């Protein structure tokens, strides 16, 4: 593995590597992705192998310009054009009818393909220079936390990728919102960096996948995703201070008030406040960083409080739920 910078020369090397069928971890505004040429079946197979990902889990295909999506998908379905104009580049992935030329390996044999145009200049420049759409799952081993810094990728996948482009910390910090436009009404399969409230302004009848009443459609909806190696318990908003943890434990709080209550409580070896001012955007940006750090520190237990289910709170709660002990 070789670490690359964001210099023009290194971006050209990253693009060339993708053209050559190699695996390149690239920064996006959400999380780091493990990129490969979406037309190259061998490269796609290597992505699954590197992630130890079951091949039934389809990949997101990334394009450098919103218009590039028409190379892989049919954008004539209702809302697709309007959504792409309004939210791309950005943290929205649209599931659309796929064009025949997209390899089945990218879509796990589904008739649909997930597409997104990321809002990160480095990612877009690499994709543009490579001249191909870039299939990229999050750059973590299957089932583990998504990386929000190049160091996370080095630690988790360093031995299994060819290049890692260090573009610093990912500002959004949670994965994109996955919206299935092939179903009627459109369905949010995964809440993420684009708040569902904003999608609803364009798609009035949009539904949000409900784990309690629906069986998983996308494999990313399996509940045990994004798990740290330490047990994480999820409690309602404001609930951390009522907990009696065992051993050396860490509390993950949302807001200065909760953090102070946890402090007074005295049982915690470590308290992390995802956003003292209770800003869900700030909490999303801090989430995976905090989980990586706490996981590495080897606490016996992690306890996290839910955020209110508004804006990016929905995405943070989804990730915390998936990381938690059921």
Binding region for ligand TXA (CB under 6 A): 28, 30-31, 33, 57-60, 93, 95, 107, 110, 112-114, 116, 118, 136-138, 175-176, 178, 180, 189-190, 218-220
Cβ of residue 208: shortest distance to ligand TXA, in angstroms? 14
The residue among 58 and 195 lying less far from ligand TXA, judged by its C-beta, is 58
CA distances from 261 to 122, 251, 253, 278, 303 (A): 41, 11, 10, 15, 14
Binding partner of 58, given Mg ion, ligand TXA, none, CB within 5-8 angstroms per partner class: ligand TXA
Is residue 142 a contact partner of residue 53, using CB atoms and an 8 Å limit?
Answer: yes
Q: Angle at CA 61, nearest 5°, toward 219 and 318? A: 40
Among 119, 92, 112, residue whose Cα is nearest residue 178: 92
Give residue 82's Cα distance to chain centre: 23
Residue 28 binding partner per list ligand TXA, Mg ion, none, with a CB distance cut-off of 5 to 8 Å that depends on partner kind: ligand TXA
The nearer residue to Mg ion, 19 or 169, going by C-beta atoms, is 169
In total, the chain counts a number of residues equal to 326
Closer of 194 and 235 to ligand TXA (Cβ): 194
The greatest distance separating any two alpha carbons of the chain, rounded to the nearest whole angstrom, comes to: 60
Nearest distance, CB of residue 69 and ligand TXA, angstroms:
13
Residue 4 CB, shortest distance to ligand TXA, in Å, is 17
Distance of closest approach, residue 124 Cβ to ligand TXA, in angstroms:
12
Q: Pick the closer one to ligand TXA by CB: 26 or 259.
A: 26
- Which listed option, ligand TXA, Mg ion, none, makes contact with residue 176 (CB within 5 to 8 Å by class)? ligand TXA
Options 93, 138, 156, 241; binder of Mg ion; rule CB under 5 A: 138
Q: Which is nearer to Mg ion, 237 or 321 (CB)?
A: 321
| Closest to Mg ion by CB, 51 or 278 | 51
For 143-198, the three-class secondary structure string (H helix, E strand, C coil) is CCCCCCCHHHHHHHHHHHCCEEECCCCCCCCCCCEEEECCCCCCEEEECCCCCHHH
Phi, psi of 202 (to 5 degrees): -100, -35
Using the rule CB under 5 A, is 28 a contact of Mg ion? no
Residue 289 interacts, among ligand TXA, Mg ion, none and using kind-specific CB cut-offs from 5 to 8 Å, with: none
Q: Which two tokens stand for residue 190?
A: 């995964």
The closest alpha carbon to 96, from 110, 82, 117, belongs to 110
| From the list ligand TXA, Mg ion, none, partner contacted by residue 33 (C-beta under 5 to 8 A by kind) | ligand TXA
Structural contact between residues 110 and 58, judged by C-beta atoms closer than 8 angstroms: yes
Binding-site partner at residue 190 among Mg ion, ligand TXA, none, CB < 5 to 8 Å by type:
ligand TXA
């Amino acid at each position: 593995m070789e670490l690359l910078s964001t210099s023009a020369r290194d971006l050209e090397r990253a693009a060339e590597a993708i053209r050559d069928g190699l695996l390149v971890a690239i920064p996006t505004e959400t999380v780091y992705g493990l990129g490969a040429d979406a037309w190259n079946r061998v490269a796609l197979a290597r992505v699954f192998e590197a992630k130890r990902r079951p091949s039934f889990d389809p990949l997101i295909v990334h394009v450098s310009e919103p218009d590039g999506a028409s190379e892989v998908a049919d954008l004539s379905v209702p809302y697709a054009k309007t959504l792409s104009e309004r939210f791309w580049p950005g943290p929205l992935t649209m599931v659309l009818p796929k064009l025949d030329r997209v390899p089945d390996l990218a879509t796990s044999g589904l008739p649909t393909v997930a597409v997104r145009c990321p809002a990160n200049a480095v990612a877009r420049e690499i994709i543009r220079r490579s001249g191909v759409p870039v299939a990229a799952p999050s750059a973590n081993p299957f089932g583990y936390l998504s990386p929000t810094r190049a160091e996370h990728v080095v630690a988790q996948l360093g031995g299994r990728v060819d290049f890692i482009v260090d573009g610093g910390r990912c500002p959004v910090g949670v994965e994109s919102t996955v919206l299935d436009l092939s179903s009627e009404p459109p369905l949010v399969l995964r809440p993420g960096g684009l708040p569902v409230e904003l999608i609803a302004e364009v798609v009035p009848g949009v539904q949000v996948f409900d784990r309690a009443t629906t069986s998983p459609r996308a494999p990313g909806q399996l509940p045990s995703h994004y798990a740290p190696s330490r047990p994480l318990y999820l409690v309602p908003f404001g609930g951390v201070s009522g907990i009696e943890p065992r051993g050396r434990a860490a509390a993950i709080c949302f807001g200065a008030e909760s953090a102070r209550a946890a402090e007074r409580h005295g049982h915690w070896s470590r308290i992390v406040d995802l956003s003292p001012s209770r800003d869900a955007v700030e909490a999303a940006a801090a989430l995976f960083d905090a989980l990586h750090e706490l996981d590495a520190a080897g606490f016996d237990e992690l306890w996290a409080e839910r955020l209110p289910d508004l804006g990016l709170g929905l995405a943070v709660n989804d990730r915390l739920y998936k990381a938690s002990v059921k």
